Amino acid sequence: MDKKLRLRGGISATLPPLLFGIGVIAFWELWTIITNSDPRLFPPPSDVANAFIDDPSLYIRNAKTTAIEMVLGFGVGAVVGIALGLLVTYSKPLRRAVYPWLVISQTIPIPAVAAVLVTWFGFSILPKVIVVALIAFFPISVSTTDGLVSVDSQMIQLMRTFGANRVQIFREVRIPHALPHVFTGMKVAAAFSVLGAVFGEWVGARGGLGYLLLIKNRSVNTDDVFAIIAVLATLGVMFFGLITLIERLVIPWHFDNRAEDT
Amino acid sequence: MNFSSPMGTAAVLQDMNISVGHHEFVSVLGPSGCGKSTLFNIIAGLIEPSEGKVTVDGLSDSGRIGQCGYMMQRDLLMPWKTVAANVALGRIVKGYPRSEALNAARKILDRYGLGEYADHYPNQLSGGMRQRAALARTFLAAEEILLLDEPFGALDNLTRLRMQSWLLDVWQDSEASILFITHDVDEAIRLSDRVYVLTERPATVAVTLEVGMERPRPYEIVLTPEFASYKTEALNHLHTGAGALFGSEQPDS
Ligand SMILES: Nc1ncnc2c1ncn2[C@@H]1O[C@H](COP(=O)(O)OP(=O)(O)OP(=O)(O)O)[C@@H](O)[C@H]1O
Ligand SMILES: [Mg+2]
């Protein structure tokens, strides 16, 4: 019974944004025709599509490079973010010592950090992974901490009446309660990891969409630049979708409950 | 029992002397905020009294935690666990193998008429079903001593009457001793062997009613003169002191 409902939910959720996107592209195409604008400044969508179709392997090859940087950086960021969330929740002295630095770390301009990383590690993948991780860990650590501390204290009391120890309370109550929060942080991080990878490539790379973007922009291949932007956006949406899919598999109860509410 | 905070010290419970014997059903009846839940938290071992002593099965102090099945005022079903997993939780924590605990949970859910909901999540249950699931969890966690804090407080009247009959059946089939909190005078008298009527804060026992009426006790028992005499006595004590301010004697304007 639920399957049908969810399927219908899926269609009604994807149709409006799809129509909106098609509308914008159609308007854009018309606009360039009506105003007879210079395609080097403002290429019509058909030119952009042609740019991609001319040499899809160029985009796909570089997208792969960027995707690997994103996924690796995100992975490192997630591990560090969750670990920090746990530490900050469970150790008061650590919380006092570390928390302000977490916030300060986010005020540092990422391109500046990326530049330093390139002088340290060269054009390898490492600086990109670090930049993505630097961007990704923060929302994850904040949301993990949030999730761990916002547990219903009466649920913990209930566990204590069973004679539960700290480990059992952690496993049965704190972790499952925190998971939806952790996933929220991971979705934010996934969306931002595109940005991190592009920044990382801009300061020094031999491949990747960010690198390609610089080259095409320098030679004023505006249609190619737009094609790259489209591929980058697709990459970000796919990564976000992947995390959402994993979320649905790991915490199905969270969605069953929400469906019940509406 | 006193609660101390930077704002000062509040006396909540005073000179409480309450006992529950084997397979007895005992109710605690008292005005809102008088300290009934606090009393249960103390008995369950969640907090220690500032003075006095609680003994559960010969165990006092920290030894008593984990001895009582405690159903708190809120059902506290965990949204991330299926109904069966929620009900099995007490046993799992106490070290039973997971599959064995889950089997026991399914069995008890069948008996409580929730068999087909075993694999649902709690948010898919109605209020009455949630209470039954929470009771099932409490029974499974500790079969001997049960502390039930207003288990039917949030239910409509009809469901509440049905749940009372059902609880009596469940209790009579078991060996359990039950300590039951309620605001509802009828509920306390219908269910119990003994009712402790508490005063306003700081709560002490105003009167102890030994309810000698025969079991089983159907709904209609509330209409008998014997029931009425118990009820009168309970109400008399509930409406003395500060409680009278909010009692029915207050003239309507
Ligand atoms: N941890 C605490 N610290 C300070 N005061 C508390 C604490 N717990 C309860 N109290 C106070 O003790 C009093 C009794 O609370 P309790 O929850 O035991 O009342 P109750 O009789 O169960 O009320 P109700 O019938 O509304 O559930 C209240 O005035 C409450 O504010
Ligand atoms: Mg209470």
Domain boundaries, chain B: 1-68+143-218, 77-141
A46 located within any domain: no
A25 located within any domain: no
CA of B12 to the centre of ligand 2 (A): 12
CA distance A18 to A116: 41
- Measured between beta carbons, the chain B residues lying within 8 angstroms of A256 are 121, 123-124
- pLDDT over 90 percentage in chain B: 51
Alpha carbon A89 to chain centroid, angstroms: 24
**What is the count of structural domains for chain A?**
1
Give the pLDDT of residue B240. 65
Give the pLDDT of residue A13. 79
Give the pLDDT of residue B202. 82
Residue type at position A110: I
Ligand 1, residue B39: give the atom nearest the CA: 18
CA nearest A128: which of A49, A67, A57? A67
Of B32 and A186, more confident = A186
Q: Residues A249-258: contacts with CB within 8 Å, 24+ apart?
A: A250/A179, A250/A183, A251/A176, A251/A179, A251/A180, A251/A183, A251/B80, A253/B79, A253/B80, A253/B81, A253/B121, A254/A179, A254/A180, A254/B79, A254/B80, A256/A2, A256/B121, A256/B123, A256/B124, A257/B79, A257/B121, A257/B123
A125 located within any domain: yes
Give the pLDDT of residue B111. 86
A13 located within any domain: no
A27 located within any domain: no
Ligand 1, residue B5: give the atom nearest the CA: 4
Please tell me the residue having the least CA distance from ligand 1 atom 5: B3
Q: What is the mean pLDDT of residues B219-242?
A: 86
**Residues in the ligand 1 pocket, defined by CB under 6 Å:** B 3, 5, 10, 12, 30, 32-38, 73, 201
CA distance A192 to A213: 18
A166 located within any domain: yes
Of B64 and B119, more confident = B119
Does the pLDDT of residue B242 top 50, yes or no?
A: no
CB-based contact B65 A256, cutoff 8 Å:
no
Tokens read off for B114: 């929730």
Q: What is the mean pLDDT of residues B205-217?
A: 91
B47 touches chain A (CB under 8 A): no
- Measured between beta carbons, the chain B residues lying within 8 angstroms of A257 are 79, 121, 123
Of A145 and B55, more confident = A145
The domain defined by B1-68+143-218 folds into Rossmann fold (3.40.50)
A128 located within any domain: yes
CA nearest B155: which of B122, B192, B135, B126? B126
CA of A95 to the centre of ligand 2 (A): 35
Half-sphere exposure of B70 (CA within 13 A, CB side): 27
Domain CATH for A76: 1.10.3720.10
Q: What does A174-226 look like in DSSP terms, one character per residue?
A: IHHHHHHHHHHHHHHHHHHHHHHHHHHHHTS-SSSHHHHHHHHHHTT-HHHHH
The Cα of B233 is separated from the nearest Cα of chain A by a number of Å equal to 35
Residue of B72, B79, B93 lying closest to A162 (CB–CB):
B93
Q: What is the mean pLDDT of residues B157-183?
A: 91
Pocket test for ligand 1, best of B37, B40, B149 (most atoms within 8 A of CB): B37
3-state DSSP of A117-156: HHHHHCCCCHHHHHHHHHHHHHHHHHHHHHHHHCCCHHHH
Residue type at position A154: Q
Tokens read off for B28: 């605690």
Tokens read off for B220: 């209609």
CB-based contact A260 B46, cutoff 8 Å:
no
Question: What domain range includes position A96?
Answer: 54-261
Does the pLDDT of residue B247 top 60, yes or no?
A: no
Name the stretches of chain A with pLDDT < 70: 1-10, 256-262
Please tell me the residue having the least CA distance from ligand 1 atom 17: B37
Does the pLDDT of residue B51 top 90, yes or no?
A: no
Of A4 and B175, more confident = B175
A163 located within any domain: yes
Give the pLDDT of residue A6. 56
Burial (0-12, 13-18, 19+ Cβ within 10 Å), A146: middle
Give the pLDDT of residue A261. 43
pLDDT digits (tens, 9 = 90+) for B78-129: 999 999 999 999 999 999 999 999 999 999 999 888 999 999 999 999 988 9
Give the pLDDT of residue B5. 65
The ipTM (two decimal places) reads 0.87
